[in-house]
Amino acid sequence: MNERIISVEGLSWDYRIGNVVVPALRGVDLEVHRGEFASVVGASGCGKSTLLYILGGMLRATKGSVWIDGFDMIGARSASRTRFLRKNLGFVFQRFNLISSLNVFDNLKIACKIAGSARGYKEKIDGMLRHVGIEHKARMKPLELSQGEQQRVAIARALIKEPKILLADEPTGNLDSENSEKILALFRTMNRDLGQTILMITHNRRLADMTDRTFEMKDGKILSNGTSPRQTR
């Protein structure tokens, strides 16, 4: 687990309000190891989601370097970066972002086609739905599901292309405490059984303490190189 799969150095990102430049990230350094379940915890507005969006290619850094599994996210051309992200990263957000007019199976089928894996998709989708525990909901539409079930569909959709890294931005933000713990237990199962590398953003310290290593973030900075909650108890 000592092999770095995410390496961030001196990462900064600024935005403008009128003529005023506001720094959202201030020289962030971060390393995540292959097969690790890591979390970044901090209050709303500290910059943790901005960090995740840069890792996911949705924002361009103002300064610094980002390497993901040996790929230069900052220096790469746009088309090359898009191909890399499509193949290697999966995303889970606070909003489930499911297509409400399609049933669960078809939401995952579209994800398969986007990933270029249309062949054998039925068996793949059936297996993934079993893995997240909602195989009996395959023909239901998102609004017929509970919020916890919708998030399981979103997780299955993110994993259907077998990404090397799963990025999760406040994945339990819309869930009650019971469903939040179920989703975290699902992440731990995926991490343990599939060797899935997971980086989760959360404001909930109790949930962060369920991960292998936690980075605390404040005012656009990472305050430490990551601590193991089990070692600090």
- Partners of 167 in the β-ladder: 91, 199
Concatenating the DSSP letter of every residue in 155-200 gives: HHHHHTT--SEEEEESTTTTS-HHHHHHHHHHHHHHHHHH--EEEE
Using CA atoms, how far residue 32 sits from 76, 120, 168, 187, 225, in Å, is 21, 32, 14, 16, 10
Cα 199 to Cα 70: distance, rounded to the nearest angstrom: 17
Report the run of H or E that residue 16 belongs to, with start and end.
Answer: strand 4-17
61 and 12 in contact (C-beta within 8 Å)?
Answer: yes
| Distance (Å, whole) CA 154 – CA 167 | 12
Grouping H, G, I as helix, E, B as strand and the rest as coil, residue 38 is strand
Q: What letter would DSSP give residue 233?
A: -
The whole-number pLDDT of residue 232 equals: 44
In this structure, what token pair is assigned to residue 8? 């961030």
Per-residue buried b or exposed e for 172-201, using 16+ beta carbons within 10 Å of the residue's own CB: bebbeeebbebbbebbbebbeeeebbbbbb
Determine the pLDDT at residue 117: 64
What is the rounded distance in angstroms from the CA atom of residue 1 to the CA atom of residue 81? 25
Q: Cα-atom radius of gyration of the chain, to the nearest Å?
A: 18
pLDDT for 233: 41
* Residues counted in the chain: 233
Q: Can you give the pLDDT of all 233 residues of the chain as single tens digits?
A: 479 999 999 999 999 999 999 999 999 999 999 999 999 999 988 999 999 999 999 999 999 999 999 999 999 999 999 999 988 999 998 888 899 999 999 999 998 888 776 667 888 899 999 989 999 999 999 999 999 999 999 999 999 888 999 999 999 888 888 888 889 999 999 899 888 999 999 998 988 998 999 999 999 999 976 666 554 44
Domains, the chain, ordered by start: 4-98+163-232 (3.40.50.300)
Rounded CA-CA distance 14/167 in Å is 22
Asked if 162 and 89 touch (Cβ cutoff 8 Å), the reply is no
* DSSP-assigned letter for residue 60: -
pTM: 0.89
Structure tokens at 7: 């390496």
Residues 6+ apart with CB under 8 A from 77: none
